[in-house]
Amino acid sequence: MNKFVEPTEQDIKNEKLYQSMGLTDAEYEKVNEIMGRAPNYTETGIFAAMWSEHCSYKHSKPFLKQFPTEGKQVLMGPGEGAGVVDIGDGQAVVFKVESHNHPSAVEPFHGAATGVGGITRDIVSIGARPIGLVNSLRFGELTNANNRRLVDGVKDGMSDYANKIGVPAVGGEVEFDGHYDGNPLVNAMVVGLIDHDKIQKGTAKGVGNKVIYVGLETGRDGILGASFASEELSEDADVAPPTAQVGYPETGKRLMEATLQAIEYPELVGIQDMGAAGLTSSSSEMAAKGDHGITLNLEKVPVSEAGISPYEMMLSETQERMLLVVEDGSEDKFLKLFEEMDLATAVIGEVTDSDRLLLYFEDELYADIPVQPLSEEAPVYILEGDKPDADDAREDYSNEDLEAAFTSLLQHPTLADKSFIHDAFDSGDSETTLQKSGFGAGIIRIEGTDKAVSMTLDGKSRYVCADPYNGGKEVVAQAYREIIATGAQPLAMTDCLNYGSPEKPLIYNQLDASTKGMAEACDALGTPVVSGNVSLYNETKEASILPTPIIGMVGLIEDVNKIKEDKVAEGDAVYLVGDLKPQFQGSQLEKLIDQKIRQTERAIDLDLEFKRGSMLKDLYVNGEIHKIAPLGRGGLIVKLAQLTSFHDSGMDIDIDVRGDLLFSESASNYIVVAPAGMDIEGAAEIGRLSGKSFKVQAQNFNAEYDIEEINATLKGAIPECMNLTD
């Protein structure tokens, strides 16, 4: 007997209940065409989740096709839970970046914690053991009390989950800008290690093979979370915020260990994390990839309370769950393993020779959906973009009080030391974590070898806003520079595309132009895209976020013995590699003084990027230079101050350029520390490491600070802001 009274098909249509699930009128009509009838309530919810922007990429799919996805090092590209890249000797790294922006805006601790948990399970579902976590975070200015609350919640949530599950955090970046007020970006990338012969896929095939559920019992948390993540954050949004998803890292740890044991069983056919859209996405996507059908008996699904309906079971985003397909007859060995690990588990269905997702509850049929259309036939929208009016470039700030500007920039949380955030995370064993959060990319040594993996996650949203096409190139180039600076050979990348509503022409243009630039940079720098995520509709009633594509990149260090010792020493020379051009659009100086972003071209030469990066990497690996530091936010003078603080060493810099060019953020420039008198292509010696003072002299600029003053300013900026009271 049917225990659940669902709205009728007529109610769904007449009251347009499908809109509250996230479907448009046209999408609902398309579902009717596919089904050959009006869908019932459960079927409508399933289509709404699978056709949400978060799951189907219906506005971004055409742009994703631009990205190169193949290369000799790529073992598995987009389409699975994460990408896999060869690092030699039968080993590979598995990595992906994910966003948890909307959940973190609503409930920062649990939203951020479950973001870490979800991306970790993506890596584990491929069969890899996680070895490193890197984060990319965006918040509004810390003068706002709500932004301070969000920072504390996100920091505590991410670190609590990562520390308890045992994934070391080894890098990341944080930016504070008013464009993210109330709409933080919480992006996390996990890197895992795997042997080639252990790589798993999320597939369901083999008629009669069994479908196994494992993990937490299903509750009502996160229902329609994928649809909510595809809406703007406002009180009158069509899809209401779901009950907060809650992470349980202790369970997540047991699930990770159980999964890594389960992949050793030859009877395992396929495995996938129950992430966005929960049991709906995992079952339907596995069936689609395996060209089979799946029948589920939902009364067998472990639940946390009585009365949970089939609709709720299928759309719940309860955390810490996996779905497995195993050979018929082998299910007991998997169940025994999971029960021994104190995990809820059950055989809940089987693979069929149909093309249908059939959902039964106590012999009542609740859904009968064709698998391929559900997974593959979400509508794709190609819209018209609109370029903003071009601004006149401002190329001269020399009449400003530049010493005051320098002090203000050092005090700003975006440029200050981020220890307040990253000290909350466990960075792992010093034997394997060769470089952790604080300066540049993280480096993890591969145990039992002389190899190491370099990993970074970076974005330059103000550049993309100023010039979406070239800004897109710069985002990829900056991640490339960070990997090069560790002495690693860049291998591949993942991306997280964070934008506002693509239905707005200006934002659609940002998405269009920036992904084109990113794709060109991937080709030029030899970094194919092996995985990724799209997060759109990041906006409130008041405003959209800045266009924020985030690039995660990994690189291989063949011999850590050549790079693991810090060779920077008193008396070393400081070199500027590249030219300081009056390129201020999207810069921190422009933000500080003009409080705007000028829509003007940001030139970048990708051939020069590749040539210069390769040259510097080789010099560093050969021991000829001691440090590589790409210029970034704040320009040359801020990077010099950060280096001074990091190495606790004075600097005496004398450079014959206009003073404001010290703050230029022009592309392709590096600082190099090396013995004096070296002939480095494109470089000029501009000073020495010496004493206990930070001295910088340029045209109409002459500043001197004690190192302790620099340290105190950089390290105290965020704690002082966080202690503000309104």
Place of tokens 């965006």: 138
Strand 185-195 to strand 91-99: parallel, antiparallel, or no bridges (unpaired)? antiparallel
- Tokens standing for 12? 């769904």
Contacts of 565 (CB under 8 A, 6+ apart): none
3-state secondary structure 236-262: CCCCCCCCCCCCCHHHHHHHHHHHHHH
Name the strand (E) or helix (H) holding 13.
Answer: helix 9-14
Name the strand (E) or helix (H) holding 584.
Answer: none
Most distant CA pair in the chain, distance: 86
Q: Does the annotation count 54 as an active-site position?
A: yes
Quick one: how many helices (H) and strands (E) in the chain?
24, 26
Amino acid at 197: D
Q: What are phi and psi of 51, to 5 degrees?
A: -100, 10
Q: What are phi and psi of 712, to 5 degrees?
A: -65, -40
Q: Are 537 and 501 in contact (CB under 8 A)?
A: yes
Can you list the alpha helix ranges (DSSP code H) found in 526-547? none
Place of tokens 């993210």: 180
Question: What is each CA distance from 386 to 37, 465, 520, 544, in whole angstroms?
Answer: 39, 13, 21, 16
Place of tokens 């819209």: 383
Q: CA torsion 711→712→717→722, rounded to 10°?
A: 130
Lay out the sheet containing 169-176: strands in order across. Answer: 74-76, 83-88, 91-99, 185-195, 129-139, 169-176
Q: Does the annotation count 59 as an active-site position?
A: no
C-alpha span between 454 and 192 (Å, rounded): 12
Q: CA torsion 423→252→456→561, rounded to 10°?
A: 80
Q: Are 282 and 324 in contact (CB under 8 A)?
A: no
C-alpha span between 551 and 690 (Å, rounded): 36
Place of tokens 């993990």: 215
- Tokens standing for 153? 């919640």
Supply the angle between the helices 707-722 and 635-647 in degrees, to the nearest 10: 100
Lay out the sheet containing 627-630: strands in order across. Answer: 627-630, 670-674, 573-577, 683-689, 651-658, 693-699, 701-706
Question: What's the sign of the alpha-carbon dihedral 382, 383, 384, 389?
Answer: negative
C-alpha span between 408 and 414 (Å, rounded): 11
Q: Which of 153, 319, 368, 89 is nearest to 221 (CA)?
A: 319
C-alpha span between 359 and 350 (Å, rounded): 11
C-alpha span between 152 and 145 (Å, rounded): 11
Instruction: Spot the catalytic one: 59, 100, 626, 647.
Output: 100
Place of tokens 């225990």: 3
Q: Which of 414, 419, 413 is nearest to 724 (CA)?
A: 413
C-alpha span between 575 and 559 (Å, rounded): 26
Q: What are phi and psi of 110, to 5 degrees?
A: -70, -35
Question: What is each CA distance from 447 to 10, 483, 513, in whole angstroms?
Answer: 61, 20, 42
Name the strand (E) or helix (H) holding 656.
Answer: strand 651-658
C-alpha span between 346 and 12 (Å, rounded): 33
Q: Are 493 and 623 in contact (CB under 8 A)?
A: no
Q: Are 480 and 527 in contact (CB under 8 A)?
A: yes
Q: Which are the catalytic amino acids?
A: 54, 100
